[in-house]
Structure 1
Amino acid sequence: MKLKVADFHCDALSKLQANPGMDFRNDPRLDVTSERLAEGNVELQVFAIYLSAVRGRAKFEDVLGQIECFRQKVVGTGGLQWLRWKEETVEGGLTAPAFGMLSLEGVDGLEGNLFYAQLCFELGVRCLGVTWNYANWAADGVLERRNGGFTEQGRKLIEWCNGSGMLLDVSHLAPAGFWELMERSVRPFIASHSNSAAICAHPRNLSDDQIKALIARDGRIGLTFVPWFVREGGEAGREDMRRHIEHVCGLGGSGQLMFGSDFDGIEAWVGGLEHPGKYVEFADLLLKYYPEDEVRGWLYRNAWGFLREQLPSSAGMNPLLPFTES
């Protein structure tokens, strides 16, 4: 059975920007291509703006470069529909081969300037991952030993995101930052590509308390296909994903579970989940064990429903959002 899929994280943009000759439609050097999205029935793919090569010295121009890469290669020649507004989530409202949405993985490239965050919003970015693994101007990442929370400017960023409709993503955020965001954010947020630490004790995975807190706020957790986040030792197959699914569901999170593959951000893959085209076989595996309605939720409806509720509306949107620096 070919079920719809929403995938909340991939790093194809970094590869496309670094290799101008790559064709998003079918380049074999990419995990995520428009052909493979169609093969796997992926109707929503979130593309991260990830600036690994310039970590620690990222500039806003680097962010702009990947936004333009998305516009030209993914939406342009790739033919995806750019998802930006709540109104675009109405079923049957648009007929594109797939939707693409932009996220920012680590706000380093905003240079501590909230006006740059606003410009990202105006240019179509709809989700901010606060950190990558280490500290930046806004907060500490999960591998920062001091485990700090948000800076003063980072707290202003939370307020701005809550007011504008920009989604917040806690994958890579230090635990102290996670709990501070839980206190300060008036809107639910997501972990776009993280697994259960109880099943695989990697620092990038979430504790049971974090998962339960996300569930209580009706946020989302996107289980990821990074092998060393799936199984200790790093070698994993599709069946190993079921342990994480069952654990999150056992905590009450069947309605908050989704997927964030991290395709193109990894150099080793879960066996049987090497690219988006493999989602069809993965769906078939899940249907052997779980009710169809639940599987449909995990693969697509939970993610899509969250966006339908939380994306900003285009109605009455000004060319530039009201903004004041305080």
Structure 2
Amino acid sequence: MFIFDGHCDTITSSMNKNENLKENNCQLDLKRLSQFSSPVQFFAICLHPKKASNPLNDILNAINYFYKEIDKNKELISCAISYKDIETNMKQNKTSGILTLEGAEVLEEGLEILDTLYKMGIRSIGLTWNYKNALGYGAMEKEKKGLTDYGKAVIKEMNNLGILVDVSHLSYTGFWDVEKIVSKPFIASHSNVKNICNHPRNLSDSQIKAIANSGGVVGINSYPLFLNESGKATIEDFLLHIDYVVNLVGIDYVGLGCDFDGIDFYTEGLEDVSAIKKLNSYLEKEYGETGAKKILGLNFLRVAKEILNK
């Protein structure tokens, strides 16, 4: 069973707990990922903007931690900076670990840092976390503003370099700023359906359609507060969001963005990465084997093939 998950915060979580990536007390580790067939995992570096006094230093520490963990576990994982790397890892039945950035405060120091991050392996960036920075406004800001001129310049340069644009956490206005600028597929790596759960972090139908029109993917998030308004959720709630996106725009534009280790309480039935196996039987019954494979990983893989082609 192949999976491609669009977002986890395991790097930050395991670093904070002074643990490793191979086997830990987090929601995701390399041992559990190895239950799947050559999985691809986006590993986010997420810095809380109000706690990061030196964003560049913190990012470098996280990148260093990630590569050290890969060196210690070469039999299980390799870093992927291109689609060719993913193909190579698949032949060796290894996890492909892809570095992403959630919140781009570090770019406030200058656009040239983007090229440095690219060279260090960052292949997807969300410009904001929940709040505003020099690039734009986050989804939880009261002011309904979008990208700054600098943020728009960053998006254009991301397109040029081959860095995937991620609109999760971005404000509604910022989303449409991105949609006007991008020339390639873009994603919401870990966002859900606003028509099911009316939360600022979730996406309207028009936003979901715009992502699909770009050729991108919506990664469904397992955080209960984004699944329903009661705050308690089950795996069935998670599947409702998948079904909604499929019915709205088709089966090619939805995937997994479970947000493991970025959430403080869990959806019943999706407590950790191993639980993804439970999704397969439902998805195969509902959409057939081919459809299930698309949702579990092939849709995100298609986007990676288009963007990470250098």
* TM-score (norm. length: structure 2): 0.94
Aligned to 1:84: 81
The Cα RMSD (Å) is: 1.7
Aligned to 1:122: 119
Q: How does 1:162-311 map to 2 (within 5 A)?
A: 162-311=159-308
Q: Pick from 129, 134, 153 the counterpart of residue 137 of structure 1.
A: 134
Quote the offset at 1:41 in angstroms.
4.4
| Amino acid paired to 1:50 | C
1:60 aligned onto 2:75: no
In structure 2, do the counterparts of structure 1 residues 140 and 158 end up closer, same or farther at CA, with 3 Å as the change threshold?
A: same
| Amino acid paired to 2:180 | E
Q: Distance in 2 between matches of 1:189 and 1:112?
A: 25
Greater Cα offset, 81-90 or 249-258 = 81-90
1:35 aligned onto 2:2: no
Which of structure 1's runs of 4+ aligned residues deviate more than 3 A? Answer: 53-58, 74-79, 89-94
Quote the offset at 1:280 in angstroms.
1.2
Unaligned 5+ runs, structure 1: 314-326
Secondary structure at the counterpart of residue 263 of structure 1: coil
In structure 2, do the counterparts of structure 1 residues 153 and 75 end up closer, same or farther at CA, with 3 Å as the change threshold?
A: farther
Aligned to 1:48: 44
Secondary structure at the counterpart of residue 137 of structure 1: coil
Secondary structure at the counterpart of residue 20 of structure 2: coil
Q: Distance in 1 between matches of 2:215 and 2:71?
A: 30
- For the 8 Å contact 1:227–1:236, the answer to whether it is kept is yes
**Structure 1, residues 64-102: CA drift from partner, whole Å, max 9, x if none?**
111111101245337311110132243776414211100
Q: Pick from 6, 9, 19 the counterpart of residue 8 of structure 1.
A: 6
In structure 2, do the counterparts of structure 1 residues 16 and 74 end up closer, same or farther at CA, with 3 Å as the change threshold?
A: farther
Secondary structure at the counterpart of residue 177 of structure 2: helix
Q: Distance in 1 between matches of 2:118 and 2:277?
A: 33
Over the matched positions of the two proteins, sequence identity in percent amounts to 32
Aligned to 1:319: none
In structure 2, do the counterparts of structure 1 residues 219 and 164 end up closer, same or farther at CA, with 3 Å as the change threshold?
A: same
In structure 2, do the counterparts of structure 1 residues 285 and 263 end up closer, same or farther at CA, with 3 Å as the change threshold?
A: same
Unaligned 5+ runs, structure 2: none
| Amino acid paired to 2:260 | F
* TM-score (norm. length: structure 1): 0.90
Secondary structure at the counterpart of residue 191 of structure 1: coil
Secondary structure at the counterpart of residue 49 of structure 1: strand
Q: Distance in 2 between matches of 1:226 and 1:214?
A: 21
| Amino acid paired to 2:63 | I
| Amino acid paired to 1:225 | S
| Amino acid paired to 1:76 | K
In structure 2, do the counterparts of structure 1 residues 92 and 266 end up closer, same or farther at CA, with 3 Å as the change threshold?
A: closer
Aligned to 1:109: 106
Aligned to 2:92: 95
Q: Distance in 2 between matches of 1:56 and 1:174?
A: 21
| Amino acid paired to 1:9 | H
Q: Distance in 2 between matches of 1:13 and 1:194?
A: 20
- For the 8 Å contact 1:193–1:222, the answer to whether it is kept is yes
Query: Which structure's residues are more often helix, by fraction?
Result: 2
Between 1 and 2, higher relative CO (CA 8 Å, sep ≥ 6) is seen in 1
In structure 2, do the counterparts of structure 1 residues 276 and 207 end up closer, same or farther at CA, with 3 Å as the change threshold?
A: same
